[in-house]
């Protein structure tokens, strides 16, 4: 029951990141680069305070730290810039669709050969991604933002893989944030900043709570899940974001988004549940 509640809280935090980012940018409260920078600085401060309270050391030099920091930076940069035009729900759908397809491909390459069920499910999910990624009437702006969200998805997939062996979830998350921060702050060089109190408040909330604490929770529960379960639970994030975007931001849930979500969620759900377990009996 405890694992279920922590997992549900974590998924809501992930979905909230999409809603907060889109709320800040669409409302004209802050520019994308400033949002990303404030978000990660707030995360570093919040996580640093938590570490100080718990008297834990900051593990900056662990082997997995390079992958963790670089993938976190790629995710945050792509994520913030993409929401300049993407709706919260559509962005989350693209993000987690790419994440799950990437994790599936990684598992197929590094592990056992995929079953027919997995191949069919992955193919269905990929079709859903193509539907979501299909250029719209605003094709030039949307295409760029879609590509940025794909980069964010690949970054989050790598970040998830880097966190599987984390000894201290909170300390590992804090170290990743500290090392990724210079890359995010680099975004501000030469940028015209456009910030307001509301924009900063939304970025701080996203950085300190839904990102910093959310990612620490994610790292803490990853060791208790098999890859299939970790993939399935993340499928709830786009659905939460789509509903929250409609309720809180007045976003229209189009037929395209509904169809794409059905293909992505259904396909990946098919691929990662009731796997054919082989071998151990060879």
In 3D space, the residue among 85, 119, 89 whose CA is nearest the CA of residue 19 turns out to be 89
**3-class SS of residue 103:** helix
Under 8 Å between Cβ of 172 and 219: yes
Structure tokens at 175: 């170290």
Q: Which letter, b or e, does each residue of 67-86 get, where b requires 16 or more Cβ atoms within 10 Å of its Cβ?
A: ebbbbbbbbbbbbbbbbbbb
| pLDDT, mean of residues 187-212 | 86
Res 227: pLDDT: 63
Whether 33 shows a pLDDT value over 70: the answer reads yes
Under 8 Å between Cβ of 70 and 95: no
Q: What is the pTM of this model?
A: 0.81
Locate the domains of the chain by residue range: 2-272
Residue 30, beta-bridge partner list: 195
pLDDT band at 70 (very low <50, low <70, confident <90, very high): very high
Cα–Cα distance for residue pair 213/210, rounded to 1 Å: 6
Structure tokens at 123: 């193919």
pLDDT band at 44 (very low <50, low <70, confident <90, very high): very high
Alpha helices in 113-186 (DSSP H): 116-133, 139-162, 169-185
């Amino acid at each position: 029951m405890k694992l279920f509640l922590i997992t549900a809280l974590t998924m809501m935090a992930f979905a909230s990141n999409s809603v907060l980012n889109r709320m800040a940018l669409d409302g004209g409260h802050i520019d994308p680069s400033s949002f990303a920078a404030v978000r990660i600085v707030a995360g570093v401060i919040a996580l640093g305070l938590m570490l100080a309270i718990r008297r834990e050391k900051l593990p900056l030099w662990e082997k997995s730290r390079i992958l963790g920091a670089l993938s976190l930076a790629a995710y945050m940069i792509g994520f913030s810039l993409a929401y300049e035009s993407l709706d919260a729900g559509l962005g989350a759908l693209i993000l987690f669709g790419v994440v799950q397809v990437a994790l599936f491909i990684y598992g197929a390459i590094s592990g056992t050969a995929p079953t027919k069920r997995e191949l069919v499910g992955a193919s269905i999910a990929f079709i859903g991604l193509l539907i979501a990624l299909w250029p719209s009437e605003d094709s030039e702006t949307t295409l760029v933002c879609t590509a940025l969200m794909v980069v964010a998805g690949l970054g989050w997939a790598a970040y998830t893989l880097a966190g599987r062996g984390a000894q201290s979830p909170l300390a590992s998350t804090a170290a990743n944030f500290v090392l990724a921060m210079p890359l995010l702050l680099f975004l501000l060089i030469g940028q015209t900043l456009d910030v307001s109190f509301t924009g900063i408040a939304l970025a701080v909330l996203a950085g300190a709570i839904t990102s910093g604490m959310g990612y620490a929770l994610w790292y803490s529960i990853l060791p208790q899940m098999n890859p299939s379960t970790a993939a399935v639970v993340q499928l709830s994030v786009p659905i939460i974001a789509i509903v929250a975007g409609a309720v809180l931001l007045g976003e229209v849930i189009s037929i395209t988004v509904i169809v794409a979500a059905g293909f992505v969620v259904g396909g990946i759900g098919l691929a990662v549940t009731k796997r054919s377990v082989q071998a151990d009996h060879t």
